[in-house]
Every structure is written in C-alpha cells, then in structure tokens.
Amino acid sequence: MNHWLILPVLLPLFAGCALLLVGERLQRGLSLLATLALLPLSAVLLQQADSGVVQFYALGNWQPPFGIILVLDRLSALMIAATALLASLSLIYAVRGDDQRGKRFHALFQFQLLGLNGAFLTGDLFNLFVFFEILLIASYALLLHGGGAGRVRAGVHYVVLNLVGSAFFLIAVGTLYGITGTLNMAHMAERVAQLSAEQAPLVRAAALLLLVVFGLKAALLPLYFWLPKAYAEASAPVAALFSIMTKVGIYSILRVYTLIFGEQAGELANLAQAWLWPLALAGIVAGALGALAATTLQGLLSYLVVVSAGTLLAAIALGTPEALSAALYYLLHSIWVAGGLFLLADLIARQRGDKGGRLVQGPALLQPHLLGGAFFFGAIAVAGLPPLSGFLGKLMLLRSVSGGSEAIALWSVVLVSGLVTIVALSRAGSTLFWRTGLSVLGSANREPVKMLASFGLLASAPLMVIAARPLITYAQATAVQLLDAGLYRQAILLGGGA
C-alpha cells in the first residue's frame, strides 16, 4: 500500500493537534515546517499520479467498497499541489504579524489544510462531507481572526449559509445511500448506472440537491452572495487561502458529476450540464458587474473570484476534454494569482492608513513604483490579457468551443466581462496610485517578507506560460482520465491500475 497517499491528511492533522499544546514561541516554526513539508510531498504525489495509475489507500485495510478510502489520481494530485504552494506563501505572509492578531491561528490554519487535502483525496461521499465540515469549521474561526464588527457580520452570514448547505449535503448523501446502498463513489457510480425507473427520480432529486450544495461552495449564481463580503473582510493571509475554497466546490462538481452522474449514468447521464451552463455564464456577468461597482480593492478582488468560478463552471458544463483541460489550467492560474492579489491589496492598504483598501483618494504610498508595478502585473494576469497565464487559459477555453450558439454565448460573455474587469481594475489602479496626496504616512513600513510572499504567488502567471507545455499536457491527460469513469471504477473496485 502506498503510504505517501495519506500523508497530506496526517501531516496537518498531527501538526494542528501539536500546535494546540506547544507554546507560542514554537508555533510559528512548527506550523511553517508542517506547511512547507507539503511542497515536496505534493511533488512526489504529482509524479506518482502522472503515471496514469489510479491508486487508493484503504484505511484500516478495509477494502472498497466497504471501507474508507483515499484516492490519488491526476486531479487530486494537482489540487494537493495547488493547495501546498498557496498555503506556504500565505503562511509566510501571516507570520510577519497577522498570526498574532487572534488566538490559535496556526492550529486553525493546519485544520483548514486537513479539510482541503482530505476533500481532494477522499473517494467516499460521506467523508467528502466530513472533510467539508472540517475545513468549514476552521474557516469560520479564521474569518473572524483579528476581530471587528465587519468580520463578525460577514462571519454570521457565512456560517448560517454554510450550515444550511451542510444540512442539505447530509440529506442528499443519506438519500443516495438509502437507494444505492453505498457511499463509495466508484461503487455508487456502478449502482446509479443500474437504477430502475422507479428509483431514478429520487436519485435525480438528491443529485440536484448536491449540486445546490456544491454550487453554494463554488459561488455559483445565485448562491455567491456570501462570498464578496466574507472575502473582503477576512485578513489578508486568510483571504488568500480562501481563494481555493470555491475551488473545493468546483472540484466536487467535477468529480461527482463526471464519475457518478457522467456519460455512463444511464437515465441520469450528464445531469448537471443543463443547469451549470446558463448559471455559470450569468455568474461571470454578475461577478464582472460587482467588480465594477466595488468600493474597496478587497471587494473588487472578491468579485473577480466569482468571475473565475463562473468561467471554470462554464468549462465544466461544456464537458469536452478540451474544455476540461482548459479549466484545469485556468484553475491553477485563478488560485495563485487571486491569492497573490489579496496579499498585495493588504500591502497597499497598510500604507494608506485609515483609508485602507477603499477606492478613494488617499496618501502617497511609500513604495508606489514597486507596488504599482505589481498591481499592474496582477491586473493583466487576472483580466486575461496577453502574455500571462490568464490569457492562455481563456484562449484555451474559447478554442474548446467548436461553434454554434454555445460559442457565441461563451465568447460574448468572456470577452465582455474581460473588458468590464479591465475597466474596474484601471479605475482602482488610477485611484490608488495616481489620485494621491503628496506626503507618505509616518506609519507606513516596508514589508520585504510579505512582498516576497505576494510576488511569489503573482510570479505564477509568467511561470505558467513558460511551463505551458508540460502543464497543458498534464491537464489534457487529467481531463481524459476524468472522463474515463470506467478506469476509476476498475482501479477502486477491481484493484486495477492504468
């Protein structure tokens, strides 16, 4: 059995428990060590997954479909790697003082990673719910880290909506278990394909209820209203880490609705596509308009997360290997660039005193050229302008549509929303860097380590273009593997491989 597979779960679990026991002096070092260790670990898992073999780890040696399993394929390895890089740089930013603004930050950070990694690796629908709850409980406390009335208000909305979503999740999972008699996703896919005509309508209802739950996590229209306020109010390293939170919902949609309700699901085949396509396109438009109307830099960036979520869900709705490979490339770009921009927004806000991130005239910045150049660079990337990764990801997506009404709708929405995003970012940039006073606040400080963390994430935009060939090759292989549900079932239920 491949014991490497369980380490992304065990490492943050044990680190989080240890951080509850050790003194404050050791917390930063232990937390950094545990988080940075995920980088080489994710590289090992990526190398293993790239062989094309779907591997599973049976906890307690209870073989599927009876036991709890973790599954490593190309998609789960990719998500673990994306999380490791984002978390490492976010934590490096946090240890320069943000972690001291509240209690138990490092333990909560590790439990958040536990939930994220577990959700990406689990092959069991109920344990997907369990890991969802772990990451959500940690995120509730992280959102409130540092206190303040704004965070409390945003936190209440966030908690209430997600508790409702969790209740729906449990109802849907219970219904599916009651009808199919299994929680193992590979086994459930096999049972769904054999449903009788009497059972199909109830399973359809449970599947659509699951789509509502995942849509809530993924910021799918009209379920995204919790996101802008929550992300805008969170502290910078927390908001950066949260840039992967919507991707957990997107990952779940991608996994469940290609494996269980994909082409081989008989009467319930491709169940989600008809709902995802119009809602995803409308979500892109709504996110772009929200960014245009935003009054703070953090609020603007939060709406751009909604735009990226809509773009990814539109690609998933198309369902072709070309569209899915474009989505996977764009997913990495959106996680890392959004995280870097949230950190950069905090650096800018700190030099503006009580003006913070509000898009109003403020004092001159201590490092206008450095921060302005980074903002310009990040804006080009997130708006999808050449020559950075956002442009390449959107180009791949647009080229994946062959023609007809789908092409007209996608091209129109993506290009127009891109133009609106450019206008919103241009307005924000001109306000922050040109409409300024003559003097710099005495409280403004240079933050080289924090800048390193922010610029490190933003540097992913050109690096993804430089490494485009191997990344796109991996994304294409991942898309093909995703759409081959028979391979996944064979590997889990029959112990097969590639």
Give 25: exposed, middle or buried? Use CB within 10 Å, 0-12, 13-18, 19+.
Answer: exposed
pLDDT digits (tens, 9 = 90+) for 385-439: 999 999 999 999 999 888 788 889 999 999 999 999 999 999 999 998 888 776 6
Tell me what the mean pLDDT of segment 14-43 comes to. Answer: 91
Give the rounded percent of residues in the chain with a pLDDT score beyond 90. Answer: 56
Going by C-alpha positions, the residue among 300, 283, 324, 436 that lies closest to residue 371 is 436
pLDDT of 1 reads 61
pLDDT of 144 reads 86
Give 496: exposed, middle or buried? Use CB within 10 Å, 0-12, 13-18, 19+.
Answer: middle
What are the tokens at 458? 């933003």
Cα–Cα dist 112/110, whole Å: 5
Tell me what the mean pLDDT of segment 263-287 comes to. Answer: 87
Tell me the pairing of strands 362-364 and 69-72: unpaired
Cα–Cα dist 481/487, whole Å: 8
pLDDT exceeds 70 at position 11: yes
Give bridge partners of residue 456 from the DSSP assignment: none
pLDDT of 497 reads 41
Cα–Cα dist 470/229, whole Å: 37
pLDDT exceeds 90 at position 75: yes
- What is the 3-class SS of 102-165, one letter each residue? CCCHHHHHHHHHHHHHHHHHECEHHHHHHHHHHHHHHHHHHHCCCCCHHHHHHHHHHHHHHHHH
pLDDT exceeds 70 at position 350: yes
Most distant CA pair in the chain: distance in Å?
A: 74
Give bridge partners of residue 49 from the DSSP assignment: none
Q: Let me know: does 243 contact 342? Beta carbons within 8 Å.
A: yes
Tell me the pairing of strands 55-58 and 69-72: antiparallel
Q: Let me know: does 127 contact 255? Beta carbons within 8 Å.
A: no
Tell me what the mean pLDDT of segment 187-213 comes to. Answer: 90
Question: Which conformational region is residue 318 in: left (phi greater than 0), alpha (psi within -120 to 50 degrees), or beta?
Answer: alpha
pLDDT of 444 reads 59
pLDDT digits (tens, 9 = 90+) for 48-68: 999 888 898 888 888 888 888
Domain boundary assignment for the chain: 1-270+483-498, 272-466
Residue 212's pLDDT band (cuts 50, 70, 90): very high
What are the tokens at 297? 């830099």
With vertex at residue 129, the alpha carbon angle to CA 230 and CA 231, rounded to the nearest 5 degrees, is 10
pLDDT digits (tens, 9 = 90+) for 229-246: 888 888 889 999 999 988
The rounded mean pLDDT for the chain is 89
Give bridge partners of residue 358 from the DSSP assignment: 296
Give bridge partners of residue 58 from the DSSP assignment: 69
pTM over 0.95: no
What are the tokens at 117? 């990694």
Going by C-alpha positions, the residue among 293, 329, 295, 299 that lies closest to residue 311 is 329
Residue scoring higher pLDDT (403 or 308)? 308
Going by C-alpha positions, the residue among 423, 436, 310, 425 that lies closest to residue 378 is 425
Tell me what the mean pLDDT of segment 294-311 comes to. Answer: 93
Going by C-alpha positions, the residue among 303, 331, 301 that lies closest to residue 120 is 331
pLDDT exceeds 60 at position 130: yes
pLDDT of 297 reads 92
pLDDT of 331 reads 95
Cα–Cα dist 189/489, whole Å: 8
List of residues 6+ apart from 452 with CB closer than 8 A: 92
pLDDT of 73 reads 92
Give the rounded percent of residues in the chain with a pLDDT score beyond 70. Answer: 97
Checking 167-175 for CB contacts under 8 A at 24+ apart, the result is 168/209, 168/212, 168/213, 169/129, 169/132, 169/210, 169/213, 170/129, 171/206, 171/209, 172/206, 172/207, 172/209, 172/210, 172/213, 173/125, 173/126, 173/129, 173/210, 175/202, 175/203, 175/205, 175/206, 175/209
